[in-house]
Structure 1
């Protein structure tokens, strides 16, 4: 049977009527741009008009041999889904009930009050600060080549630049810290950058993160790709980002999984906004739906 292979949009009882409405007229309905964190590297961005885009929903490795998460990404409805690269912790677009899917976008997509530009580059492979020698392990088990320029598809990366509400928001994905000069030039001014940061230095080491921040000079840095105790399994080897956060001069520890940004209220100095363990879905219900009973202890 092949019924469970491929895209599953044909199963959805929903439709793209919201997109039809915005196709005719798309004016602002709220102030600012909302960014909501879903754990891993997944963020939902909501434009002033109300258009939603989910970037990098995650899942477990399809082989079932190295789960990173307790369960796959919760099924979520958004208008647009996008993925930066073909790694399991970034590419679960099939878990989205979306009108548009942008898988590893290279080029530009525009709709309503939203513009998304995908910039093709390469996944980070410098293991100077990594917790283990992944290149050696990969080669030992006959994995696909990881080093550019002749790397396998899963070691490509497409940074996603989202422009809406007067803001330029960059999702770095797992990109290398030293893309070529033309990439930096095309990025231009960035207001908010989402960077993979965790204390195991899994993707980017601390000096690499600081190098990227220095080159981009954003107003806000949002870390992602870190350990969350009730979402991510220990065997992922990920750590939290607390030690890195302690090194930063200006940190805002957000108390919810959503935050709203407007050009006029952005900080004058670089600020790190951390969502911490807050995610924008009901984690207890997610465990229950996947057969894991949650026992509440004392507060």
Structure 2
């Protein structure tokens, strides 16, 4: 018999508590306006902080569990948030056990509302056609493993839940690794968004440049924030990812951020028209140094 006692979440060992959630639960009426903080944690991980102070981490990452090679140069940083959410069951998106969080929403389908935030998960499918990518990893997966990647009979890891965060009058979408051509029923649920967090990198690993443009256009996104890309001091070359520079610099009026977090007001966001906003290699934590120290965020 396999001993599975050490599997699962280690939340019972965490020294934090949910007092912050209690204060929000018992506080004043939800805040409906103000700036929203968007912070980048590498990979596809973003922390969104609402005007009321509710902290949501989407898609924290980990290294592959099989241990043959690493995707990241270090572990996901210890971070205290209120809600952790994962779009799908791949290692670079499902590190919820790495978080110090009060609430975990793994592959949310439906709606969860708390304080001044509403989260909606829309069920669809992970991209399974990567013929546009520098490395056709989906075809390699089919040839080298027995994993079923094509819908509707795909394995669980090739499901994906698109996440919509509604806060302060903004609709923020995290695409996860969703396919670029979901059915109309999904598009009708998505509607228009203000900020689209889309997986865009130079290898076109998830979305091709053309697909990314089509998705952003269909969503009428005012800001487009790339993720799921290579950063030399976060991601290994074995990931096969590349930086997003070509796509970002190819868009008129693109903005490169100088830190790992930015405050966004509804007025500023709604005044944009499909502007690319990119964190580059900037993240909202101190990156470990290969020499044992830390590098600036």
Q: Structures share a fold, TM > 0.5?
A: yes
Residue 4 of structure 1: how far off its partner (Å): 3.1
1:79-107: per-residue Cα shift (whole Å, max 9, x none)? 00000000000000000010000000000
The 3 A distance-change label for structure 1 pair 173 and 135 is closer
Aligned mates of 1:123, 1:117 — CA distance in 2:
17
- 1:21 is aligned to 23
Aligned mates of 1:38, 1:295 — CA distance in 2:
15
**Which of the residues 201, 204, 207 maps onto 1:201?**
204
Ranges in structure 2 where 5+ consecutive residues have no aligned partner: none
Residue 295 of structure 1: how far off its partner (Å): 9.1
1:44-79: per-residue Cα shift (whole Å, max 9, x none)? 000000000000000110001231101221121100
Aligned mates of 1:25, 1:144 — CA distance in 2:
47
Corresponding position: 1:175 with 2:191:
no
Residue 237 of structure 1: how far off its partner (Å): 0.4
- 1:278 is aligned to 282
- 1:8 is aligned to 10
Aligned mates of 1:36, 1:184 — CA distance in 2:
26
Contact map agreement 1:28 1:50 (CA 8 A) in 2? no
Pairs aligned (count): 291
Corresponding position: 1:261 with 2:264:
yes
Contact map agreement 2:135 2:240 (CA 8 A) in 1? no
Task: Output the TM-score relative to the length of structure 2.
Answer: 0.94
Secondary structure, aligned partner of 2:218:
helix
Residue 28 of structure 1: how far off its partner (Å): 3.7
Corresponding position: 1:163 with 2:163:
no
The 3 A distance-change label for structure 1 pair 216 and 11 is same
Aligned mates of 2:129, 2:12 — CA distance in 1:
41
The 3 A distance-change label for structure 1 pair 76 and 30 is farther
Contact map agreement 1:59 1:92 (CA 8 A) in 2? yes
- 2:241 is aligned to 238
Corresponding position: 1:102 with 2:105:
yes
- 1:293 is aligned to 292
Task: Output the TM-score relative to the length of structure 1.
Answer: 0.93
Aligned mates of 1:159, 1:179 — CA distance in 2:
11
1:111-139: per-residue Cα shift (whole Å, max 9, x none)? 00010000000001122311223233223
Corresponding position: 1:213 with 2:212:
no
**Which of the residues 127, 130, 138 maps onto 1:127?**
130
Ranges in structure 1 where 5+ consecutive residues have no aligned partner: none
Residue 29 of structure 1: how far off its partner (Å): 10
The 3 A distance-change label for structure 1 pair 268 and 29 is closer
